Amino acid sequence: MKRSKLLWGVLGGAAVVAAIGTLLVGGLSENVVYFLTPSELVARGTEAVDQPLRLGGQVKPGSVVWDAEELDLIFAVQDSVGEIGVRYTGAQPAMFREGIGVVIEGSMQGNGVFEATNLMVKHSNEYKAPHGDSIPGTMYESIIRPEVEE
Amino acid sequence: MGRSSPLVGWLGGAALTLMLIGSAIGLFVVAADAEQGEVQRLMYVHVPAAWTAFVAFFMVFIGSVLYLVQRDPRADRFAAACAEVGVVFIALTLVTGMLWGKPTWGVWWTWDPRLTTTALLFAVFVGYLAIRGFSDDPDRRARWSAVVGILGFIQVPIVYLSVVWWRTLHQPPSSPRSVSSEILWTWMLNFLAFLLLFSYLAARRARLARLEAELEEREAYDV
């Protein structure tokens, strides 16, 4: 008797957790998202200015301007609908390049530029050995190399 | 009491052999990913460790349900052994993930859904081990930890699917279609090695738990 009661208690608890999980799935994707897409941020308009948030998308090909002296990085991040200009000061992550995914922490400025405090690269789930004359990257060197050279 | 089964010794030998072979192939034979370079080799530890932890927590789930249904102390010891080894593997997953994240993503850690749910999974099973220390009554200890073990396992599919359900920095799961075949085979070989290592460690830990239980019982009579 007692045993089956406990088992039902566990099943009940599991059902509660599953319910909360379902709510989270529905709720998280609507409200508490890890990052906003450029078009979502554009839609927020001036309301989003100076609010710390994360912006995620693709680095627009042809938009990257890099000043190695000042460590000043300017690029546009885009989704299928919109794009936003981003400004970041600091060393580039090793995998940063045009066309790659990024998640940026920072805030929208009044002038429409997203001022980044942290730049993260979101890479794909593809892993392929180099082919032909291409050589594997030497990213491990970035671990032992100081982050900012010169 | 008695000696442990010779099968367990063979299991340990097989795990060690396969880990040496898997590591050698992963480090020196297979070419590293064209885009990420050498750091991609962390995949052969990170992903097998994560999957092995998932398997371990599934075993905790099985042992916990069995205990609640049958009240067999062996089921409880099995669950506890799998949880302890599982915590080691999920910790290894978190550490190798950080080491991999810094050179590729640019950060050691970020609170994206995949990393957050994994940290939570680790915390719950550390809690599971802590709960086992709370009670001296073997039945109560086993009942409480079985409940936590079952609820803890429910998080595993959430962790796995977090990259599909939500926006994350972590990439979605790789598949045979997104990974070239030599990398895939090395990956599977190392997963097999980790599974054997897990089985060996869990078997040793369960035996230790049995000896502890026998000692507890004997002390109860002697004193």
- CATH number of residue A63's parent domain: 2.40.50.140
- DSSP state, A136? -
Q: Which two tokens stand for residue A20?
A: 């909360």
One domain, residues A49 and A111:
yes
Please give the Cα distance from A86 to B159 (Å, whole number): 31
Residue A138 reports pLDDT greater than 60: no
pLDDT at residue A80, as a whole number: 87
CA atoms within 13 A on the CB side of A70: 9
Mean pLDDT of successive 10-residue stretches along chain B, which has 223 residues: 74 95 91 85 95 98 96 95 97 96 92 92 92 84 93 94 91 86 92 97 94 86 70
What stretch of H or E contains A55?
strand A53-59
Domain that holds residue A47: 38-124+139-144
pLDDT at residue A145, as a whole number: 41
Q: How many domains does chain B have?
A: 1
Q: Do A21 and B158 touch (CB under 8 A)?
A: yes
One domain, residues A19 and A71:
no
CA dihedral A125, A129, A133, A137 (to 10 degrees): 60
- Residues A104, A55: contact at Cβ < 8 Å? yes
Nearest by CB: B37 against A14, A125, A139: A139
One domain, residues A45 and A25:
no
Is residue B104 a part of any domain in this protein? yes
Is residue A76 a part of any domain in this protein? yes
pLDDT at residue B31, as a whole number: 85
Task: Please indicate if any CB of chain B lies within 8 Å of the CB of A34.
Answer: yes
Smallest Cα–Cα separation from B33: which of B18, B23, B24, B44?
B44
One domain, residues A54 and A120:
yes
Please give the Cα distance from B37 to B156 (Å, whole number): 30
0.90 surpassed by pTM: no
One domain, residues A21 and A81:
no
Domain that holds residue B182: 6-218
- Residues A102, A116: contact at Cβ < 8 Å? no
Please give the Cα distance from A64 to B207 (Å, whole number): 60
Is residue B1 a part of any domain in this protein? no
One domain, residues A77 and A114:
yes
Q: Return phi, psi of residue B61, to 5°.
A: -60, -50
- Name the average pLDDT for chain A: 78
pLDDT at residue A137, as a whole number: 46
- Residues B167, A34: contact at Cβ < 8 Å? yes
One domain, residues A47 and A28:
no
Task: Please indicate if any CB of chain A lies within 8 Å of the CB of B110.
Answer: yes
Please give the Cα distance from B204 to B181 (Å, whole number): 35
Please give the Cα distance from B38 to A91 (Å, whole number): 21
pLDDT at residue A1, as a whole number: 46
Is residue A59 a part of any domain in this protein? yes
One domain, residues A26 and A49:
no
- CATH number of residue B47's parent domain: 1.20.120
One domain, residues A82 and A58:
yes
Question: Of A8 and B10, which is predicted with more confidence?
Answer: B10
The amino acid at residue B1 is M
Residue A116 reports pLDDT greater than 80: yes
Please give the Cα distance from B12 to A82 (Å, whole number): 56
Is residue A60 a part of any domain in this protein? yes
CA dihedral A87, A91, A93, A99 (to 10 degrees): 40
Q: Which two tokens stand for residue B90?
A: 């999920």
Q: Which two tokens stand for residue B57?
A: 């927590």
pLDDT at residue A6, as a whole number: 65
Is residue A134 a part of any domain in this protein? no
Q: How many domains does chain A have?
A: 2
Is residue B223 a part of any domain in this protein? no
Is residue A129 a part of any domain in this protein? no
SS3 content of chain A, % helix, strand, coil (to 5): 30, 30, 40
Shortest CA distance from B180: residue in chain A? A128
One domain, residues A82 and A103:
yes
The residue count of chain B comes to: 223
Question: Of A21 and A77, which is predicted with more confidence?
Answer: A77
Task: Please indicate if any CB of chain A lies within 8 Å of the CB of B32.
Answer: yes
pLDDT tens column, A61-105: 999 999 988 899 999 999 988 899 999 999 888 889 898 999 999
Close Cβ partners of B111 (under 8 Å, ≥ 6 residues apart)? A34
Q: Return phi, psi of residue A103, to 5°.
A: -125, 125
One domain, residues A60 and A116:
yes
Nearest by CB: B106 against A21, A28, A120: A120
Using an 8 Å CB-CB cutoff, list chain A residues near B166: 28-29, 33-34
